[in-house]
Amino acid sequence: MNQPTAHCTNRTVHDADSHITEYDGWMEDYASEYVRENLDEPFLKIEDIPQLQPAIAQAKNRLAGNDPELTEQLKSNLFGSPGKRNLMAAYGAVNGEERRDSLDIAGISSQLVFPGLVFASRFAGSRDPKVIYGGSEAMNRGMVDFCAADKQRLLSVGYLSLQDPAMALESAKQAIDMGIKSLWMRSDAYDGRAPSHIAYDPIWALMEEAGVPIVLHIGSGKKLPQVYRNTGVERVLHPMSMNVETTSPKDLPILHHSIERWLTCMIYDGVLERFPKLKIGLIELGSNWLPACMANLDLGVSELGKFDMGLKDLSMKPSDYMRRQVRATPLHVEDTGWVLRSVGKDMLMFNTDYPHPEGGSDPFGDFERSLDLVQASPEELDNFYAKNFEDLMGLI
C-alpha cells in the first residue's frame, strides 16, 4: 500500500510538503518564560475537543508502545490507513525517528517538514515583537529537534516574521545558524511596507547566500473575510470538519489570491532580478491558477510597462522569473498533467502533505494517473519527482 508507482521505480523521489503534529504544550517546551507568559491562547486546544478525546487517547497509547498492532497497521499503509485521520497517532506525526523510517517505507529520499499551521497563530499575530520573534525561535528549535533524527533527509521549515525588518534579519540569521532549511513567511504586507520593500533586501541577500528558500504555504495570506461567510443561513458542518486542518469550500478557490499579489510585487519591483538565486516554494496552494498568473504578469508588463519606467529594468519576462526561481506543489486532486503542459517542466513538485488527510490516500497513484494522461516524458518526470525540489532546496 505504501509502494511508489511505476513512475518512481528506479527514480529519486522528494516530498515537498509534510507536517508534524504538535501536542498541546509543545511550543511551551521550547519557549522562554517571557514568551510562555505572553503567548496568545490557541483558538482551540486539541485536548479540550470532546470529539477528539478517543483519538488522543489512542495516539498516546500507541506512542507509549502499548499498541504494536496499530503501529504495524499504520506502517503498512501510511497514506490510506484509517488511523491517518488521527493526526497524532499517524506514524511519524510526533516522533522524528518514526518520520525518518516512514521515508524508507514510502521510498522518499527527503522531505520538507512544516510545523502544524495552528500553532504559529499563537505568536505570529502578537503586537509584542519579543513574543513574535521569541515564538519564532521556539518553533524553529522545535522543528530542528524533530528533524535531528535525519538532518540530511528531514528538511526543517522555520518561521520568519517580517514585522520588523531589523529583527527579522537577526531572526533569519539565527534560524539558519540553528539548521533551519527553509523559511515560511506570510504573503501579506506589514506595517505599510510592500513585500518587495528595499528594507527586506538584506534578508533576501542572506537567504540567497545560504541557499535557504522562501516558502509560502496555505495559511500564508489572509483568508476570506468573515463577512463573506455571513449568508443569513446557518451553516451545517459535517463531523469531519473537526479535523483542525480542514480547508473550507470558500477558501479553496482563493488560496492563491494573496500569493499572486506577493509574486507581482517580488517580480515587478525587481526583487527576483536583484537576487537571481533566491528560490521560492509555493506549497499546498494548488497549481491550477499558475498558468493564468504567469500570463497576466506578462500582460501587465507588455501592455502597461510603458507607464512604469521601473518595469523597463527587468531583464526577462515575468513568467521567466517564475520558471527560474519559483517551484510549486499541485494538489493531488488537480489535473497536474494539464498544469505541467501549461507552465513547463521546471516548476511542479511531488508532495504528500503527510500526515494530513488533504494529501489523499494515494498521492503516488493520483499524480501518476494525471501525468500519464499527457504522456509526460522521462525528463518531465525526473523534474517533477526530484530535480525541481533539488533546485528549490539547493541540493544540486
Q: Which amino acid is at 146?
A: F
Per-residue pLDDT of the chain (396 residues; tens, 9 = 90+): 566 678 999 999 999 999 998 888 888 899 999 999 998 876 567 677 776 778 788 888 998 999 999 999 999 999 986 554 556 778 999 999 999 999 999 999 999 999 986 778 889 889 999 999 999 999 999 999 999 999 999 999 999 999 999 999 999 999 999 999 999 999 999 999 999 999 999 999 999 999 999 999 987 777 777 788 777 887 766 555 544 455 677 777 888 899 999 999 999 999 999 999 999 999 999 999 999 999 999 999 998 888 887 898 899 999 999 999 999 999 999 999 999 999 999 999 999 999 988 899 999 999 999 999 999 999 999 999 999 999 999 997
Report if residue 108 sits inside a domain: yes
Where residue 86 sits, what CATH number does that domain have?
A: 3.20.20.140
CA–CA dist 224, 288 (Å, integer): 19
pLDDT at 260: 96
HEC-encoded secondary structure of the chain? CCCCCHHHCCCCCEEEEEECCCCCCCCCCCCCHHHHHHCCCCCCCHHHCHHHHHHHHHHHHHHCCCCHHHHHHHHHCCCCCHHHHCCCCCCCCCCHHHHHHHHHHHCCCEEEEECCCCHHHHCCCCCCHHHHHHHHHHHHHHHHHHHHHHCCCEEEEEECCCCCHHHHHHHHHHHHHHCCCEEECCCCCECCECCCCHHHHHHHHHHHHHCCCEEEECCCCCCCCHHHHCCCCCCCCCHHHHCCCCCCCCCHHHCCHHHHHHHHHHHHCCHHHHCCCCCEEEECCCCCCHHHHHHHHHHHHHHHHHHCHHHHHCCCCHHHHHHHHEEECCCCCCCHHHHHHHHCCCCECCCCCECCHHHCCCHHHHHHHHHHHCCCCHHHHHHHHHHHHHHHCCCC
Report if residue 110 sits inside a domain: yes
Q: Establish whether the linkage from the previous residue to 355 is cis, with ω within 30° of 0.
A: yes
Report if residue 228 sits inside a domain: yes
- Please state the domain count of the chain: 1
pLDDT at 87: 65
Q: 318-325 and 290-304 helices cross at what angle (nearest 10)?
A: 140
Report if residue 263 sits inside a domain: yes
Domain that holds residue 282: 6-392
pLDDT at 51: 67
pTM, rounded to two decimals: 0.93
pLDDT at 244: 46
pLDDT at 3: 60
Report if residue 1 sits inside a domain: no
